């Protein structure tokens, strides 16, 4: 289906003790992807149960838009820390694992 919104979910495993740091790092780069062609939205979902998986949910106009962002300088810049951007070392990762899931909307209700 052409023109169907594409959903990309980065499931990031983060020990409970490091969750606040993950949220802080995302807050520091808030809006970095907003101007990317085909970008439709972003959510950082924090677990409210015993899970250690945080979900980074992005919505894209199509797969091509997502792939264009992945290969753009903006992607690399947005995934470097402030320290790295100013010539310093990268901070220690807070995650222990991550994987990207791909979905498209099969049905929708906007209450």
pLDDT of residue 3: 55
Write the pLDDT tens digit of every residue in 52-75.
999 999 999 999 999 999 998 877
CA distance 36 to 32: 9
Write the pLDDT tens digit of every residue in 12-47.
999 999 999 999 999 988 888 899 999 999 999 999
pLDDT of residue 105: 86
pLDDT of residue 78: 65
Q: What's the fold here for domain 8-83+95-103? A: Alpha-Beta Plaits (3.30.70)
Q: Which residues of 73-96 are buried (b: 16+ CB within 10 A; e: fewer)?
A: eeeeeeeeeeeeeeeeeeeeebbe
75: enclosing H helix or E strand: helix 73-78
Closest by CA position to 82, among listed 28, 20, 12: 28
Q: Is the pTM of this model over 0.75?
A: yes
């Amino acid at each position: 289906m052409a023109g169907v919104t594409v959903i990309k979910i980065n499931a990031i495993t983060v020990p409970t003790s490091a969750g606040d740091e993950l949220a802080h790092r995302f807050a520091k780069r808030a809006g970095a992807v907003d101007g990317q062609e085909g970008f439709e939205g972003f959510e950082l979902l924090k677990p409210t149960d015993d899970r250690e998986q945080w979900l980074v949910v992005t919505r894209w106009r199509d797969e091509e838009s997502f792939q264009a962002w992945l290969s753009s300088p903006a992607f690399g810049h947005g995934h470097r820390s402030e320290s790295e951007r100013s010539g310093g070392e990268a901070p220690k990762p807070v995650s222990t694992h991550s994987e990207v899931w791909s979905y498209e909307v099969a049905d929708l209700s906007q209450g």
